[in-house]
Amino acid sequence: MTVSYTLEVANVRFGGFSKLLFRWKGSIYKLLYKEFLLFCGVYLFFSVLYRLMLTPKQQDVFERIALYCDQFTNTNFIPVLFVLGFYVTLAFNRWWGQYTSFPLPDNLMMVVSGNVHGADERGRMLRRTLMRYANLASVLILRSVSTRVRKRFPTLEHVVEAGFMTSHELKILESLHSDFNKYWMPLTWFANLASRAREETRVRDDIALRLLMDELNNYRAKCSLLFHYDWISIPLVYTQVVTLAVYSFFALCVVGRQFLSPEKGYKDHKLDLYVPVFTLLQFFFYAGWLKVGELIINPFGEDDDDFETNQLIDRNIQVSMLAVDDMYQNLAPLEKDKHWAQQHFSIPYTVSTAADGLRPAFKGSTFDMRMSLEDLELERPTDTFPLQGSSLDNRKDGLLKGCSLPSLLNVPTHQFMEDVNEDEIPLAEEMIKVETN
């Protein structure tokens, strides 16, 4: 079952996250403790071997090997951080994409409830059957990707027994041969049944039918995307690279991070602490990171934090049938609301939230910005464009010094150039270029 702790961290307070560190279900300790104990056991074996079981000559050979391994664990020879960080980021994006692609019937049931009419038995049957087909499609696709749903519905007969499909529909489904997954067939039944409802005027116009088809296609697209997420995984070679990088790194650490005799004066071996605290922390972080990637790469398994697919199936069938059946045209009588006669009214607060009502409403970040007198002073732009230093004749067609620029647009360029003296051509060309821009 998904572990939720959002209520416990709703408010930021001292030690807010520290309470979460002692949880076992869904924790990193539960995922990692076996690997952690194995690493500690191997490290302890080499430590005891070095200290108690080897001869002085053999200890010298072991120390040389330890120093050789240590130089690779303290450099970027094995880029654990890079490959592991990118891998977990990629896996997280994939995890979120799978969550958002889960087919929820909410939009579809609203459209069915509002556009498939009829309070009689036929209308009720049409609406319920349409939503049953939609939920059947999600069950079929989840049987293909989720181990929990597969265990709940191991065969199609179990799906029939659960009420998602009739025996006759099962025979039709099995009689239609296809080498590929047939999760889309109930959605085809949905489309055909919606067209029949249009012929019976249960769907009253083509616009409503088009709305039904659009929501059906959106629902089908999510089912298809879920199937493709299960089909196309993160390339195996990258998963292998990450796993080998982490395991090889700590395989070198069990030898290279051994505490050597301080009496021999090896560099960085002046203390003999027996327990490699920082190496164990490094293993906990790196191997835990790898476990996180392993956990979220496929959220349709049976881990503590995997998606509750069976509960989602129960929720979807219940709310969809409630929306299209019990709630169809089941409206409360129209009444004047409590504030009908009040032009200005306020909503009451409880005592514990009364302070929120005293806060001024946010009107924008610049609403209370202070202004100087210079900011408030207006400066009106001039309507003319004086031509300083020009000797153009100010008597020809308004193309004169001091004339406004808009008047220049009414004169063809060739006429303007004909009225300009030869020595004034550069200035005239500059005027034309300015006005054109």
Q: How many of the other CB atoms lie within 10 Å of CB of 152?
A: 17
The whole-number pLDDT of residue 418 equals: 53
How sure is the predictor about 425, in pLDDT bands with cuts at 50, 70 and 90?
Answer: low
Distance CA 247, CA 261 (A): 27
The whole-number pLDDT of residue 49 equals: 94
The whole-number pLDDT of residue 399 equals: 42
Average pLDDT over residues 325-332: 91
The whole-number pLDDT of residue 429 equals: 57
Instruction: Return the percentage of the chain with pLDDT > 90, whole number.
Output: 63
How sure is the predictor about 392, in pLDDT bands with cuts at 50, 70 and 90?
Answer: very low
How sure is the predictor about 102, in pLDDT bands with cuts at 50, 70 and 90?
Answer: very high
pLDDT one-digit tens code per residue, 337-380: 999 999 888 889 899 888 887 888 888 888 888 888 888 888 87
Angle between the 121-145 and 106-115 helix axes, to the nearest 10 degrees? 170
Taking 60 as the threshold, does the pLDDT of residue 387 lie above it? Answer: no
Distance CA 361, CA 104 (A): 36
Taking 90 as the threshold, does the pLDDT of residue 166 lie above it? Answer: yes
The whole-number pLDDT of residue 400 equals: 42
How sure is the predictor about 21, in pLDDT bands with cuts at 50, 70 and 90?
Answer: confident
Taking 50 as the threshold, does the pLDDT of residue 179 lie above it? Answer: yes
Distance CA 300, CA 98 (A): 9
